[in-house]
Amino acid sequence: MDLRLHLLETFMATGSDGASYKVCAYDRLAPDAALADDQHWESTGQVEYRLADNRPVEVSRDGSMRIAGSGVELTAVDQSQTSSATT
């Protein structure tokens, strides 16, 4: 099955290793079965998370995030605190 990814949002996260990571959330799109022109895509209802370097991020039901295949856990950085600290 063909799939495309549509960028929904990006945010910064801090890893349990102390590094900063850019996380990208994507909506998975599949071809619209009603139209066979290969130009119309619809959401599958699934969101996929990846780091900016394309490594997959696993998100648990409780919302916790981990870089797939590693022990690095990610915590989203509160953007409101970051922007108010710089202004």
| pLDDT band of 1, cuts 50, 70, 90 | low
CB 25 within 8 A of CB 8: yes
* pTM of the predicted model as reported, rounded to 2 decimal places: 0.79
DSSP code per residue over 15-79: ETTS-EEEEEEEEEEEE-TT--SS--EEEEEEEEEEETTS-EEEE-TTS-EEETTSS-EEEE--H
In whole numbers, what is the pLDDT of the chain averaged over residues? 87
Question: Quick check: 38 pLDDT over 70?
Answer: no
Mean pLDDT of 43-66: 95
Question: Quick check: 15 pLDDT over 60?
Answer: yes
Which of the two residues, 76 and 1, has the higher pLDDT score? Answer: 76
What 8-state DSSP symbol labels residue 1? -
Sorted by sequence, the CB contacts under 8 Å of residue 86 that are 6+ apart come out as none
Cβ atoms < 10 Å from Cβ of 19 = 11
